[in-house]
Amino acid sequence: MGDKYLTLSELNLEGQLLGFVGGEPGKYKYLQLAVPSGNVEIKLPKELRRSLSLSLVPGQQIRVFAHSKLDSHTSKIKIKAYRVTPMDGCPNQDLPPQPKARIMVCQKSGCLKRGGKELLSELEKTLSDRNLLDKVIIEYTSCQKCCSSAPNWVLEIGNKKYKNISTDAIASLLESHLS
């Protein structure tokens, strides 16, 4: 979707399939979903278009796993599916596995000199104290191109990214995300 789109969040929508739109049969670009708050149009990736138009019928209850993105030029939110499943079985069987959160810490000399080593030590201690160390992957990166705000690091939970927040805030975000 290019640089003009900013990923907002990952969505898990459940609702009734209203139908497919945009294009010819087998190549529909969107599906329409009725959810409690109204109707939503969701873009389908090319690899799902044919199989979904053949396997799903309007009126069927489905679950859509998608990403919401903000068009920075028009300020419109677009939703693009990456997985669509019928809701016939147990609701939890189709959920994707919970990915580990990642913390990417800059290891270039500028960041290390400006407190990067201390930050990493404090971060590991805070995560260990709260029993979160095994639920996070800490990666050491090269320059993150924000040298004026060193030490630099990024917390990535799903599709959300948080930059240079306190270690207590990291632990709180992880606890709320992983619980």
3-state secondary structure (DSSP) of residue 101: strand
3-state secondary structure (DSSP) of residue 100: coil
Rounded average pLDDT over 47-70: 86
User: Per-residue pLDDT tens for 105-164?
Assistant: 888 988 889 988 888 888 888 888 888 888 888 888 889 888 888 888 888 887 778 887
Q: 117-129 and 167-178 are packed helices; what angle lies between their axes, rounded to 10 degrees?
A: 40
Both ends of the chain: CA-CA distance in Å? Answer: 31
Predicted pLDDT at 6: 67
Predicted pLDDT at 65: 93
* Closest by Cα among 96, 91, 110, 94 to 151: 110
Computed over every residue of the chain, the mean pLDDT equals 81
| 64, pLDDT greater than 60 | yes
**Residue type at position 176:** S
Predicted pLDDT at 1: 43
> What is the token pair recorded at 13?
């929508």
Predicted pLDDT at 91: 44
Rounded average pLDDT over 26-40: 86
* Closest by Cα among 104, 107, 124 to 116: 107
Residue 55: partners with Cβ closer than 8 Å, 6 or more residues away: 86
